[in-house]
A and B are shown apart, each in its own frame.
Chain A
Amino acid sequence: MNWQAIALSLKLAISVAGILLAVGLPIAYWLTFSRWRWKFLVEAVVALPLVLPPTVLGYYILVGLGPRNLPGKIWESWFGHTLPFTFGGLLVGSVLYSLPFAVQPIIAGFETVDRRLIEASWTLGASRLRTFFRVILPLSATGVVAGTVLSFAHTIGEFGVVLMVGGNIPGVTRTVSIDIYDQALAGNYSAANQTALLLLLFSFLVLSIIYGTNRRALGLWRKA
């Protein structure tokens, strides 16, 4: 079992989930409550990675942000290196690729909050920020948790973007899914089997937690 790859995947997934929680909340808030007529375009952009092949994203990061193109040159002059083959490159790719998995459940959560409660909070003098943290967030916690867990799990399972821009460097860009691919190609079926089984159990566990902690499921336990 390649613990280095597992540790790397966990580090990547935790970072992605953290960033997406911070970025996803304001995006989801705006998408839920804005009345801008062109909002649907932003919604389409946020949902794009659901439909876009990971190779497209990988291609843009590799070539667009490579040293031969302007965005890549700018990046290099700021940070001293280009994005491909670095942990930062995987991070950027993964954040973009998991964006809808974080934002859409959060939006779903926000939309179920009773509008009258929000307006009551405003009329009682609470600021928008205070209303957000004291009324909206507690009432939509399930959606926020689901978004964070899904973006974490989706990053663990990511393959295409990493294969294209990672360069398979042990400890830097060789994630668990790439490791399984390498093992399978090299004919090490027993190693591939072990890691694959671990990921299968992990994915099952994550989904069980999401489904098990939703209120309806908890209610079934209480009745029994």
Chain B
Amino acid sequence: MSEGRPNVNWILKRCFPVFAALALAVPFSCARAAARPAASPAGQEPCGTVTVAAASDLSYAMNEIAANFGKATGCAVRLSTGSSGNFLVQIENGAPFDVFFSADIAYPKKLEAEGLAAPGSTYLYAVGKIVLWVRNDSRLDVGKGLALLRDPSIRKIAIANPEHAPYGRAAVQALRNAGVYDAVKGRLVLGENISQTAQFVESGDADAGVLALSLVLSPALQGKGRSWNIPENLYAPIRQGAVIPRGSRNPQGARKFLDYMKTPAAARLLQRYGFVLPAGGKS
């Protein structure tokens, strides 16, 4: 065979350093991440590190709560925020979260049903609300409510993905009950979670969005737009539940964190972010 012709092996050889670097980087970074908890001496942390998975509507509230909890107890908190549905799938497949704050109480209950959490242990920590939101520089008048979305000058309306995000499901219910769903469905863009949905509107890429009140009241969005509270009779309450998965490596720390969520200080903070607190906390 003449060496004058290119072949794939030769091409791959050219790129080999890149592939090799990638192949080495992955196990190394994993090994380091795994080694970290063991490296910190247990004596300095009375309850070690609590790894918290929180729905993205809690992004800002949970940051403050975690910081306050750390000050009050000396525990370290490792906070992950994201889509509740994603966390559910991850926990079902062995993710090492110590406590899971879902935006939808159905997800922790599913963990219970699957034997991945103690039966009856799900705690209803808050009820979320949705609002219609536009940026300050928008000409749209949010005072018109959901009927505003019929306006043909609106090209993109952001909601969370109703297939797996509770805020998206509530948004679709509200749009249907307000009788505008068919008029808007061709203009909907779906955020992977409620934070991405907010970001779609905040960046101006979408003209309006149905967002979580907790995000609209957060430092990231406060003062940047106008909102209209969607009447609660238009959608089923967004009941949010928390649970300690069986796979938790620090159940004592997780228990402390859940207890802290029930203190008046944490409750005030959640209310400041627009969450409604359930009376008894029992689900």
Contacts and interface: CB of A to CB of B under 8 A. Distances in A.
Contacts of A163: 192
A168 B203 contact: no
Interface string A182-224: 1011110000000000000000000000110011100100000
Nearest to A210: B8
Nearest to B13: A108
Contacts of A11: none
B11 interface: yes
Interface in A90-146: 104-105, 108-109, 111-114, 139-140, 142-143, 146
A35 interface: no
Interface string B154-179: 01101001011000000000000000
B189 A211 contact: no
Contacts of B72: none
Contact of A62 (B89, B156, B205): B205
Given A182-B163, A215-B1, A82 B10 contact: no
Contacts of B6: 105, 108-109, 111-112, 140, 142-143
Nearest to A110: B6
Contacts, number: 100
Contacts of B206: 85, 167
Given A85-B189, A104-B15, A186 B163 contact: yes
Interface range on chain B: under 10, 10 to 19, 20 to 34, or 35 or more? 35 or more
B4 A184 contact: no
B7 interface: yes
Contact of B204 (A67, A81, A210): A67
A108 B4 contact: no
A51 B19 CA distance: 10
A88 to B, nearest CB: 14
Contact of A105 (B3, B11, B156, B199): B11
Interface centre among A85, A109, A211 (most CB of B within 10 A): A85
A214 B161 CA distance: 44
Interface centre among B161, B191, B200, B205 (most CB of A within 10 A): B205
B108 interface: no
A139 B190 CA distance: 47
B139 interface: no
Given A142-B8, A143-B6, A185-B86, A169 B15 contact: no
B71 interface: no
A84 interface: yes
Contact of B203 (A66, A81, A139, A185): A66
Contacts of A7: none
B221 interface: no
Contacts of A62: 199, 203, 205
Contacts of A74: none
B85 to A, nearest CB: 4
Contacts of A111: 6
B9 interface: yes
A220 to B, nearest CB: 10
A-B complex: 6 closest residue pairs judged by Cβ atoms: A167-B189, A168-B190, A185-B85, A109-B6, A185-B164, A143-B6
13 contacts: A51-B18, A85-B189, A85-B205, A105-B6, A108-B10, A111-B6, A112-B6, A112-B10, A167-B156, A167-B191, A169-B188, A185-B86, A185-B89
Interface of A: 50-51, 62-63, 66-68, 81-82, 84-85, 104-105, 108-109, 111-114, 139-140, 142-143, 146, 163, 167-169, 182, 184-187, 210-211, 214-216, 219
Given A146-B11, A186-B85, 12 more contacts: A50-B15, A85-B156, A109-B6, A111-B6, A140-B5, A168-B161, A168-B192, A185-B163, A187-B88, A187-B164, A211-B8, A215-B5
